[in-house]
Amino acid sequence: MKKYDLTEGKILNKLLLVALPIMATQFIQMAYNFTDMFWLGKLGGKVASHAIASSGVAGLYMWLLMTFAFVGRMGAEIGVSQHFGKKDLKGAKEFSQNSVFISLILGLACGFVYVIFSRTLISFYGIKEENVAQDAANYLSIIGIAVPFTFLTNSLTGTFNGSGNSVMSLVANFAGLVINMVLDPLLIFGFNLGVNGAAIATAIAQIAVCVIFLIAIKKIKGRPFERYSFRFKISTEKIIKIIKWTIPISIETLLFSSLTMTITGFVSKFSAEALSVQSVGAQIESLSWLIGGGFGSALTAFVGQNFGATKWNRIHKGFKISLIAMSVWGAIITLFLFFGGRYLFRVFLSEPNILKMGEEYLKILAACQLIFCLEAISAGVFRGIGKTIPPSLVSGISNALRVPLAYFLSKTFLGLNGIWWGITIGASIRGIWIFIWYLVESKKFPKIDEKEILTNNLEHQ
Protein backbone atom coordinates (compact mmCIF):
# COMPACT_ATOMS: atom_id res chain seq x y z
CA MET A 1 0.00 0.00 0.00
CA LYS A 2 1.46 3.30 -1.12
CA LYS A 3 0.85 6.92 -0.31
CA TYR A 4 0.83 9.17 -3.37
CA ASP A 5 2.25 12.59 -4.12
CA LEU A 6 -0.76 14.16 -5.83
CA THR A 7 1.15 17.26 -6.93
CA GLU A 8 2.96 15.41 -9.75
CA GLY A 9 2.01 13.07 -12.59
CA LYS A 10 -1.08 12.57 -14.73
CA ILE A 11 -4.07 14.11 -13.01
CA LEU A 12 -6.69 11.49 -13.91
CA ASN A 13 -4.40 8.66 -12.88
CA LYS A 14 -3.63 10.25 -9.53
CA LEU A 15 -7.28 11.10 -8.89
CA LEU A 16 -8.33 7.53 -9.62
CA LEU A 17 -5.54 6.07 -7.48
CA VAL A 18 -7.04 7.91 -4.51
CA ALA A 19 -10.71 8.00 -5.56
CA LEU A 20 -11.27 4.33 -6.45
CA PRO A 21 -10.25 2.96 -3.02
CA ILE A 22 -12.33 5.65 -1.28
CA MET A 23 -15.37 4.89 -3.47
CA ALA A 24 -14.89 1.17 -2.89
CA THR A 25 -14.67 1.88 0.84
CA GLN A 26 -17.90 3.88 0.67
CA PHE A 27 -19.53 1.01 -1.18
CA ILE A 28 -18.37 -1.42 1.51
CA GLN A 29 -19.80 0.84 4.23
CA MET A 30 -23.10 0.82 2.35
CA ALA A 31 -22.84 -2.97 2.15
CA TYR A 32 -22.85 -3.11 5.98
CA ASN A 33 -26.42 -1.77 5.93
CA PHE A 34 -27.36 -3.89 2.94
CA THR A 35 -26.17 -7.00 4.80
CA ASP A 36 -28.23 -6.14 7.88
CA MET A 37 -31.33 -5.42 5.80
CA PHE A 38 -30.88 -8.52 3.64
CA TRP A 39 -30.82 -10.88 6.62
CA LEU A 40 -33.51 -9.02 8.55
CA GLY A 41 -35.64 -9.25 5.42
CA LYS A 42 -35.36 -13.02 5.65
CA LEU A 43 -37.41 -12.90 8.85
CA GLY A 44 -40.38 -12.71 6.48
CA GLY A 45 -43.67 -10.77 6.21
CA LYS A 46 -44.52 -7.94 8.59
CA VAL A 47 -41.80 -9.07 11.01
CA ALA A 48 -39.22 -8.35 8.30
CA SER A 49 -40.56 -4.90 7.40
CA HIS A 50 -40.76 -3.95 11.08
CA ALA A 51 -37.20 -5.19 11.74
CA ILE A 52 -35.86 -3.21 8.77
CA ALA A 53 -37.78 -0.15 9.93
CA SER A 54 -36.19 -0.48 13.40
CA SER A 55 -32.63 -0.74 12.11
CA GLY A 56 -33.26 2.04 9.61
CA VAL A 57 -34.59 4.45 12.23
CA ALA A 58 -31.63 3.74 14.54
CA GLY A 59 -29.36 4.13 11.53
CA LEU A 60 -30.48 7.74 11.15
CA TYR A 61 -28.99 8.47 14.57
CA MET A 62 -25.76 6.88 13.39
CA TRP A 63 -25.91 9.27 10.47
CA LEU A 64 -26.35 12.11 12.95
CA LEU A 65 -23.07 10.99 14.54
CA MET A 66 -21.25 12.08 11.39
CA THR A 67 -21.87 15.64 12.56
CA PHE A 68 -19.19 15.07 15.17
CA ALA A 69 -17.15 12.34 13.46
CA PHE A 70 -16.46 14.67 10.53
CA VAL A 71 -14.53 16.99 12.87
CA GLY A 72 -11.75 14.43 13.25
CA ARG A 73 -11.88 13.14 9.70
CA MET A 74 -11.96 16.45 7.83
CA GLY A 75 -9.52 18.06 10.26
CA ALA A 76 -7.01 15.31 9.46
CA GLU A 77 -7.84 15.19 5.74
CA ILE A 78 -7.40 18.93 5.16
CA GLY A 79 -4.50 19.45 7.58
CA VAL A 80 -2.52 16.40 6.45
CA SER A 81 -3.06 16.95 2.71
CA GLN A 82 -2.10 20.64 2.79
CA HIS A 83 1.06 20.00 4.83
CA PHE A 84 2.02 17.03 2.66
CA GLY A 85 1.77 19.42 -0.28
CA LYS A 86 4.17 21.76 1.54
CA LYS A 87 6.46 18.80 2.34
CA ASP A 88 5.94 19.59 6.05
CA LEU A 89 5.56 16.09 7.53
CA LYS A 90 5.92 17.33 11.12
CA GLY A 91 2.97 19.72 10.70
CA ALA A 92 0.94 17.01 8.95
CA LYS A 93 1.49 14.56 11.83
CA GLU A 94 0.55 17.17 14.42
CA PHE A 95 -2.75 17.82 12.63
CA SER A 96 -3.41 14.07 12.54
CA GLN A 97 -2.65 13.61 16.25
CA ASN A 98 -4.80 16.54 17.34
CA SER A 99 -7.65 15.24 15.14
CA VAL A 100 -7.35 11.89 16.91
CA PHE A 101 -7.58 13.64 20.28
CA ILE A 102 -10.74 15.51 19.26
CA SER A 103 -12.27 12.28 17.89
CA LEU A 104 -11.71 10.38 21.12
CA ILE A 105 -13.33 13.07 23.27
CA LEU A 106 -16.34 13.42 20.97
CA GLY A 107 -16.66 9.66 20.47
CA LEU A 108 -16.79 8.90 24.17
CA ALA A 109 -19.38 11.61 24.76
CA CYS A 110 -21.64 10.51 21.89
CA GLY A 111 -21.32 6.83 22.75
CA PHE A 112 -22.39 7.54 26.33
CA VAL A 113 -25.49 9.42 25.17
CA TYR A 114 -26.53 6.67 22.75
CA VAL A 115 -26.13 3.88 25.31
CA ILE A 116 -27.91 5.66 28.17
CA PHE A 117 -30.62 7.63 26.35
CA SER A 118 -31.47 5.36 23.42
CA ARG A 119 -35.19 5.03 24.20
CA THR A 120 -35.58 8.78 24.72
CA LEU A 121 -33.91 9.46 21.37
CA ILE A 122 -36.07 6.97 19.48
CA SER A 123 -39.26 8.42 21.00
CA PHE A 124 -38.62 11.53 18.86
CA TYR A 125 -40.10 9.71 15.86
CA GLY A 126 -43.44 8.95 17.49
CA ILE A 127 -43.47 5.45 15.99
CA LYS A 128 -46.90 3.84 16.29
CA GLU A 129 -45.69 0.24 16.63
CA GLU A 130 -44.21 -0.36 20.11
CA ASN A 131 -42.10 -3.35 19.01
CA VAL A 132 -40.49 -1.25 16.26
CA ALA A 133 -39.64 1.54 18.73
CA GLN A 134 -38.17 -0.86 21.30
CA ASP A 135 -36.07 -2.74 18.73
CA ALA A 136 -34.75 0.57 17.39
CA ALA A 137 -33.77 1.68 20.91
CA ASN A 138 -31.99 -1.64 21.55
CA TYR A 139 -30.12 -1.35 18.24
CA LEU A 140 -28.99 2.19 19.08
CA SER A 141 -27.74 1.34 22.57
CA ILE A 142 -25.72 -1.63 21.28
CA ILE A 143 -24.15 0.38 18.47
CA GLY A 144 -23.35 3.13 20.98
CA ILE A 145 -20.67 0.90 22.53
CA ALA A 146 -18.72 0.99 19.25
CA VAL A 147 -19.09 4.75 18.69
CA PRO A 148 -15.70 5.82 20.21
CA PHE A 149 -13.96 3.29 17.95
CA THR A 150 -15.87 4.58 14.92
CA PHE A 151 -14.78 8.15 15.66
CA LEU A 152 -11.14 7.12 16.00
CA THR A 153 -11.41 5.25 12.69
CA ASN A 154 -12.67 8.43 11.02
CA SER A 155 -9.69 10.54 12.12
CA LEU A 156 -7.24 7.84 11.00
CA THR A 157 -9.10 7.50 7.69
CA GLY A 158 -8.66 11.24 7.15
CA THR A 159 -4.94 10.89 7.93
CA PHE A 160 -4.40 8.12 5.38
CA ASN A 161 -6.55 9.82 2.71
CA GLY A 162 -4.80 13.15 3.20
CA SER A 163 -1.42 11.49 2.68
CA GLY A 164 -2.63 9.95 -0.58
CA ASN A 165 -3.03 6.39 0.77
CA SER A 166 -6.74 5.63 0.50
CA VAL A 167 -6.17 1.89 0.01
CA MET A 168 -5.78 1.38 3.76
CA SER A 169 -9.38 2.43 4.36
CA LEU A 170 -10.54 -0.04 1.73
CA VAL A 171 -8.62 -2.95 3.28
CA ALA A 172 -9.77 -2.21 6.83
CA ASN A 173 -13.42 -1.72 5.91
CA PHE A 174 -13.44 -4.82 3.70
CA ALA A 175 -12.24 -6.86 6.68
CA GLY A 176 -15.03 -5.32 8.77
CA LEU A 177 -17.60 -6.18 6.09
CA VAL A 178 -16.49 -9.82 6.03
CA ILE A 179 -16.84 -9.99 9.82
CA ASN A 180 -20.30 -8.41 9.61
CA MET A 181 -21.43 -10.80 6.84
CA VAL A 182 -20.34 -13.83 8.87
CA LEU A 183 -21.84 -12.66 12.17
CA ASP A 184 -25.19 -11.35 10.84
CA PRO A 185 -26.88 -14.68 10.00
CA LEU A 186 -25.19 -16.37 12.96
CA LEU A 187 -26.52 -13.87 15.51
CA ILE A 188 -29.87 -13.04 13.86
CA PHE A 189 -30.91 -16.67 13.25
CA GLY A 190 -28.39 -18.96 14.98
CA PHE A 191 -28.77 -17.22 18.34
CA ASN A 192 -32.28 -15.94 17.49
CA LEU A 193 -31.36 -12.35 18.40
CA GLY A 194 -33.15 -10.66 15.49
CA VAL A 195 -32.52 -6.89 15.31
CA ASN A 196 -30.19 -7.07 18.34
CA GLY A 197 -28.07 -9.62 16.49
CA ALA A 198 -27.64 -7.26 13.53
CA ALA A 199 -26.56 -4.48 15.90
CA ILE A 200 -24.03 -6.68 17.72
CA ALA A 201 -22.54 -7.85 14.40
CA THR A 202 -22.15 -4.26 13.19
CA ALA A 203 -20.60 -3.10 16.50
CA ILE A 204 -18.02 -5.92 16.49
CA ALA A 205 -17.14 -5.19 12.86
CA GLN A 206 -16.63 -1.47 13.56
CA ILE A 207 -14.37 -2.19 16.54
CA ALA A 208 -12.33 -4.59 14.37
CA VAL A 209 -11.87 -1.91 11.70
CA CYS A 210 -10.53 0.50 14.33
CA VAL A 211 -8.04 -2.08 15.62
CA ILE A 212 -6.75 -2.63 12.07
CA PHE A 213 -6.22 1.13 11.64
CA LEU A 214 -4.38 1.37 14.95
CA ILE A 215 -1.97 -1.32 13.80
CA ALA A 216 -1.64 0.18 10.30
CA ILE A 217 -0.76 3.71 11.41
CA LYS A 218 2.31 2.32 13.24
CA LYS A 219 3.31 -0.78 11.31
CA ILE A 220 2.35 -1.06 7.62
CA LYS A 221 4.52 -0.11 4.68
CA GLY A 222 3.15 3.04 3.06
CA ARG A 223 1.92 4.51 6.36
CA PRO A 224 1.74 8.34 6.34
CA PHE A 225 4.55 8.78 8.89
CA GLU A 226 7.62 6.75 9.74
CA ARG A 227 6.89 7.13 13.46
CA TYR A 228 3.51 7.81 15.00
CA SER A 229 2.70 8.11 18.68
CA PHE A 230 -0.59 8.53 20.51
CA ARG A 231 1.31 10.33 23.26
CA PHE A 232 1.81 13.87 22.05
CA LYS A 233 1.55 17.49 23.07
CA ILE A 234 -1.91 18.91 22.41
CA SER A 235 -1.73 22.02 20.22
CA THR A 236 -4.39 24.60 21.01
CA GLU A 237 -3.49 26.41 17.78
CA LYS A 238 -4.10 23.33 15.64
CA ILE A 239 -7.28 22.36 17.47
CA ILE A 240 -8.66 25.86 16.84
CA LYS A 241 -7.67 25.55 13.17
CA ILE A 242 -9.38 22.15 12.90
CA ILE A 243 -12.53 23.44 14.55
CA LYS A 244 -12.51 26.49 12.28
CA TRP A 245 -12.34 24.22 9.23
CA THR A 246 -14.89 21.71 10.44
CA ILE A 247 -17.56 23.78 12.20
CA PRO A 248 -19.27 24.64 8.87
CA ILE A 249 -19.12 20.97 7.81
CA SER A 250 -20.42 19.78 11.19
CA ILE A 251 -23.28 22.29 11.20
CA GLU A 252 -24.11 21.21 7.66
CA THR A 253 -24.18 17.54 8.64
CA LEU A 254 -26.14 18.28 11.83
CA LEU A 255 -28.79 20.19 9.90
CA PHE A 256 -28.97 17.53 7.21
CA SER A 257 -29.31 14.70 9.72
CA SER A 258 -31.79 16.57 11.93
CA LEU A 259 -33.94 17.57 8.99
CA THR A 260 -33.84 14.04 7.61
CA MET A 261 -34.98 12.77 10.99
CA THR A 262 -37.81 15.31 10.97
CA ILE A 263 -38.89 14.08 7.55
CA THR A 264 -38.69 10.49 8.83
CA GLY A 265 -41.16 11.58 11.50
CA PHE A 266 -43.54 12.56 8.66
CA VAL A 267 -43.00 9.14 7.06
CA SER A 268 -43.70 7.31 10.34
CA LYS A 269 -47.19 8.84 10.37
CA PHE A 270 -48.06 6.75 7.34
CA SER A 271 -46.91 3.28 8.54
CA ALA A 272 -43.98 1.10 9.57
CA GLU A 273 -44.02 -0.23 5.99
CA ALA A 274 -43.40 3.32 4.73
CA LEU A 275 -40.43 3.54 7.13
CA SER A 276 -39.01 0.29 5.74
CA VAL A 277 -39.34 1.69 2.20
CA GLN A 278 -37.40 4.78 3.24
CA SER A 279 -34.73 2.67 4.95
CA VAL A 280 -34.16 0.33 1.99
CA GLY A 281 -34.60 3.09 -0.61
CA ALA A 282 -32.04 5.34 1.06
CA GLN A 283 -29.46 2.55 0.95
CA ILE A 284 -30.12 1.89 -2.74
CA GLU A 285 -29.94 5.60 -3.54
CA SER A 286 -26.65 5.82 -1.66
CA LEU A 287 -25.03 4.22 -4.72
CA SER A 288 -24.98 7.81 -5.93
CA TRP A 289 -24.17 9.91 -2.89
CA LEU A 290 -21.66 7.52 -1.33
CA ILE A 291 -19.73 7.13 -4.58
CA GLY A 292 -20.07 10.85 -5.34
CA GLY A 293 -19.02 11.71 -1.81
CA GLY A 294 -16.07 9.31 -2.09
CA PHE A 295 -14.86 10.98 -5.28
CA GLY A 296 -15.37 14.37 -3.62
CA SER A 297 -13.23 13.23 -0.69
CA ALA A 298 -10.46 12.15 -3.09
CA LEU A 299 -10.71 15.53 -4.79
CA THR A 300 -10.35 17.24 -1.40
CA ALA A 301 -7.06 15.38 -0.83
CA PHE A 302 -5.90 16.15 -4.38
CA VAL A 303 -6.78 19.83 -4.14
CA GLY A 304 -5.37 20.08 -0.61
CA GLN A 305 -1.94 18.81 -1.67
CA ASN A 306 -1.86 21.01 -4.78
CA PHE A 307 -3.10 24.01 -2.82
CA GLY A 308 -0.25 23.47 -0.36
CA ALA A 309 2.15 23.28 -3.32
CA THR A 310 0.43 26.35 -4.96
CA LYS A 311 -0.23 24.36 -8.16
CA TRP A 312 -3.43 26.06 -9.29
CA ASN A 313 -3.24 24.75 -12.83
CA ARG A 314 -3.60 21.17 -11.55
CA ILE A 315 -6.54 22.23 -9.34
CA HIS A 316 -8.43 23.65 -12.34
CA LYS A 317 -7.69 20.60 -14.48
CA GLY A 318 -8.60 18.25 -11.63
CA PHE A 319 -12.02 19.86 -11.33
CA LYS A 320 -12.71 19.58 -15.08
CA ILE A 321 -11.69 15.92 -15.20
CA SER A 322 -13.79 15.17 -12.11
CA LEU A 323 -16.76 16.97 -13.66
CA ILE A 324 -16.71 14.70 -16.70
CA ALA A 325 -16.23 11.50 -14.69
CA MET A 326 -18.96 12.22 -12.14
CA SER A 327 -21.43 13.43 -14.80
CA VAL A 328 -21.16 10.03 -16.48
CA TRP A 329 -21.64 8.24 -13.14
CA GLY A 330 -24.63 10.43 -12.24
CA ALA A 331 -26.32 9.68 -15.57
CA ILE A 332 -25.80 5.92 -15.10
CA ILE A 333 -27.27 5.96 -11.58
CA THR A 334 -30.24 8.05 -12.74
CA LEU A 335 -31.16 5.40 -15.32
CA PHE A 336 -30.41 2.60 -12.86
CA LEU A 337 -32.75 3.95 -10.16
CA PHE A 338 -35.52 4.87 -12.57
CA PHE A 339 -35.70 1.53 -14.39
CA GLY A 340 -34.30 -0.95 -11.87
CA GLY A 341 -35.72 0.16 -8.52
CA ARG A 342 -38.40 -2.50 -8.22
CA TYR A 343 -35.95 -5.35 -8.83
CA LEU A 344 -33.55 -4.03 -6.19
CA PHE A 345 -36.31 -3.73 -3.59
CA ARG A 346 -37.31 -7.33 -4.26
CA VAL A 347 -33.94 -8.47 -2.84
CA PHE A 348 -34.97 -7.17 0.60
CA LEU A 349 -38.77 -7.07 0.74
CA SER A 350 -41.27 -8.91 -1.42
CA GLU A 351 -44.70 -7.65 -0.35
CA PRO A 352 -46.47 -6.16 -3.44
CA ASN A 353 -47.54 -2.90 -1.77
CA ILE A 354 -44.02 -2.26 -0.49
CA LEU A 355 -42.52 -3.01 -3.91
CA LYS A 356 -44.86 -0.46 -5.51
CA MET A 357 -44.01 2.17 -2.89
CA GLY A 358 -40.30 1.49 -3.29
CA GLU A 359 -40.40 1.74 -7.06
CA GLU A 360 -42.13 5.13 -6.89
CA TYR A 361 -39.60 6.34 -4.27
CA LEU A 362 -36.58 5.58 -6.44
CA LYS A 363 -38.13 6.96 -9.65
CA ILE A 364 -38.71 10.30 -7.94
CA LEU A 365 -35.23 10.45 -6.37
CA ALA A 366 -33.62 9.55 -9.71
CA ALA A 367 -34.30 13.15 -10.80
CA CYS A 368 -31.57 14.63 -8.57
CA GLN A 369 -28.76 12.10 -8.86
CA LEU A 370 -26.77 13.82 -11.62
CA ILE A 371 -27.09 17.15 -9.81
CA PHE A 372 -25.77 15.60 -6.61
CA CYS A 373 -22.61 14.45 -8.40
CA LEU A 374 -21.96 18.05 -9.52
CA GLU A 375 -22.39 19.13 -5.91
CA ALA A 376 -19.91 16.53 -4.62
CA ILE A 377 -17.01 17.70 -6.79
CA SER A 378 -17.73 21.41 -6.24
CA ALA A 379 -17.77 20.93 -2.47
CA GLY A 380 -14.62 18.78 -2.70
CA VAL A 381 -12.61 21.60 -4.26
CA PHE A 382 -13.90 24.19 -1.77
CA ARG A 383 -12.88 21.97 1.15
CA GLY A 384 -9.49 21.15 -0.32
CA ILE A 385 -8.51 24.82 -0.30
CA GLY A 386 -9.89 25.24 3.22
CA LYS A 387 -13.07 27.14 2.22
CA THR A 388 -15.61 24.99 4.04
CA ILE A 389 -18.27 27.68 4.52
CA PRO A 390 -19.75 27.84 0.95
CA PRO A 391 -20.79 24.16 0.66
CA SER A 392 -22.00 24.09 4.26
CA LEU A 393 -24.06 27.28 3.92
CA VAL A 394 -25.68 26.09 0.70
CA SER A 395 -26.39 22.66 2.16
CA GLY A 396 -27.91 24.07 5.35
CA ILE A 397 -30.32 26.44 3.60
CA SER A 398 -31.29 23.98 0.85
CA ASN A 399 -31.86 21.11 3.25
CA ALA A 400 -34.00 23.33 5.46
CA LEU A 401 -36.31 23.80 2.47
CA ARG A 402 -36.90 20.04 2.40
CA VAL A 403 -39.00 20.05 5.55
CA PRO A 404 -41.75 22.49 4.48
CA LEU A 405 -41.69 21.08 0.96
CA ALA A 406 -42.08 17.50 2.21
CA TYR A 407 -44.76 18.48 4.73
CA PHE A 408 -46.98 20.50 2.41
CA LEU A 409 -46.60 18.19 -0.60
CA SER A 410 -47.48 15.17 1.58
CA LYS A 411 -50.78 16.91 2.41
CA THR A 412 -51.72 17.03 -1.28
CA PHE A 413 -52.96 14.23 -3.53
CA LEU A 414 -49.32 13.05 -3.69
CA GLY A 415 -49.46 11.69 -0.13
CA LEU A 416 -46.29 9.74 0.76
CA ASN A 417 -44.80 10.55 -2.66
CA GLY A 418 -45.00 14.23 -1.73
CA ILE A 419 -42.31 13.60 0.88
CA TRP A 420 -40.02 12.05 -1.75
CA TRP A 421 -40.63 15.01 -4.07
CA GLY A 422 -39.77 17.43 -1.25
CA ILE A 423 -36.43 15.63 -0.75
CA THR A 424 -35.69 15.65 -4.48
CA ILE A 425 -36.48 19.33 -5.01
CA GLY A 426 -34.37 20.36 -1.99
CA ALA A 427 -31.42 18.26 -3.21
CA SER A 428 -31.67 19.74 -6.71
CA ILE A 429 -31.60 23.31 -5.39
CA ARG A 430 -28.57 22.46 -3.24
CA GLY A 431 -26.56 20.89 -6.06
CA ILE A 432 -27.24 23.57 -8.65
CA TRP A 433 -26.51 26.37 -6.19
CA ILE A 434 -23.10 25.13 -5.00
CA PHE A 435 -22.04 24.24 -8.56
CA ILE A 436 -22.81 27.78 -9.78
CA TRP A 437 -21.10 29.26 -6.70
CA TYR A 438 -17.96 27.29 -7.48
CA LEU A 439 -17.95 28.41 -11.12
CA VAL A 440 -18.18 32.05 -9.98
CA GLU A 441 -15.61 31.64 -7.19
CA SER A 442 -13.12 29.77 -9.40
CA LYS A 443 -12.75 32.84 -11.61
CA LYS A 444 -10.94 34.49 -8.67
CA PHE A 445 -8.42 31.65 -8.35
CA PRO A 446 -4.93 32.12 -9.89
CA LYS A 447 -4.79 30.62 -13.37
CA ILE A 448 -1.11 29.61 -13.26
CA ASP A 449 1.21 28.14 -10.64
CA GLU A 450 3.37 30.14 -8.23
CA LYS A 451 6.56 29.02 -10.00
CA GLU A 452 5.22 30.30 -13.33
CA ILE A 453 4.34 33.63 -11.69
CA LEU A 454 7.92 33.95 -10.34
CA THR A 455 9.37 33.00 -13.72
CA ASN A 456 7.21 35.57 -15.52
CA ASN A 457 8.22 38.26 -13.02
CA LEU A 458 11.91 37.50 -13.54
CA GLU A 459 11.51 37.61 -17.33
CA HIS A 460 9.95 41.07 -17.09
CA GLN A 461 12.69 42.46 -14.88
pLDDT at 458: 41
> What is the average per-residue pLDDT within 272-286?
77
pLDDT at 452: 52
Q: Closest Cα partner for 173 from 131, 198, 138, 209?
A: 209
Render pLDDT for 353-403 as a digit per residue (tens, 0 to 9): 878 888 888 899 889 888 988 888 899 899 888 888 888 888 888 888 888
Range from 85-94, 225-234, 265-274 carrying the lowest mean pLDDT: 265-274
H or E element that contains 52:
helix 45-85
Percent of the chain at pLDDT > 90 equals: 34
Give the three-class secondary structure for 110.
helix
Q: Closest Cα partner for 23 from 316, 367, 295, 384?
A: 295
**Which residue ranges make up each domain of the chain?**
11-444
Indicate if the pLDDT at residue 167 is higher than 90.
Answer: no
pLDDT at 4: 66
CA–CA dist 417, 406 (Å, integer) = 9
Render pLDDT for 294-335 as a digit per residue (tens, 0 to 9): 788 888 888 988 888 888 889 989 899 989 988 998 899 889
Render pLDDT for 150-164 as a digit per residue (tens, 0 to 9): 999 999 999 998 888
pLDDT at 456: 47
> What's the chain's average pLDDT?
85
Render pLDDT for 18-41 as a digit per residue (tens, 0 to 9): 888 877 877 787 777 778 877 887
Q: Please give the residue that has the higher pLDDT: either 36 or 408.
A: 408
Which 3-state string (H, E, C) describes the chain?
CCCCCCCCCCHHHHHHHHHHHHHHHHHHHHHHHHHHHHHHHCCCHHHHHHHHHHHHHHHHHHHHHHHHHHHHHHHHHHHHHHHHHCCCHHHHHHHHHHHHHHHHHHHHHHHHHHHHCHHHHHHHHCCCCHHHHHHHHHHHHHHHCCHHHHHHHHHHHHHHHHCCCCHHHHHHHHHHHHHHHHHHHHHHHHCCCHHHHHHHHHHHHHHHHHHHHHHHHHHCCCCCCCCCCCCCCCCHHHHHHHHHHHHHHHHHHHHHHHHHHHHHHHHHCCCHHHHHHHHHHHHHHHHHHHHHHHHHHHHHHHHHHHHHCCCHHHHHHHHHHHHHHHHHHHHHHHHHHHHHHHHHHHHHCCCHHHHHHHHHHHHHHHHHHHHHHHHHHHHHHHHHCCCCHHHHHHHHHHHHHHHHHHHHHHCCCCCHHHHHHHHHHHHHHHHHHHHHHHHHHHCCCCCCCHHHHHHHHHHCC
Instruction: Output b/e per residue, 188-209; b: 16+ Cβ within 10 A.
Output: beeeebbbbbbbbbbbbbbbbb
- The answer to whether 180 and 201 have CB atoms below 8 angstroms apart is yes
pLDDT at 148: 96
461 pLDDT band, cuts 50/70/90, is very low
Render pLDDT for 173-194 as a digit per residue (tens, 0 to 9): 889 989 999 999 999 999 999 9
pLDDT at 127: 77
CA–CA dist 360, 378 (Å, integer) = 29
Give the three-class secondary structure for 453.
helix
Percent of the chain at pLDDT > 70 equals: 95
Largest CA distance in the chain: 81
pLDDT at 449: 62
pTM for this predicted structure: 0.71
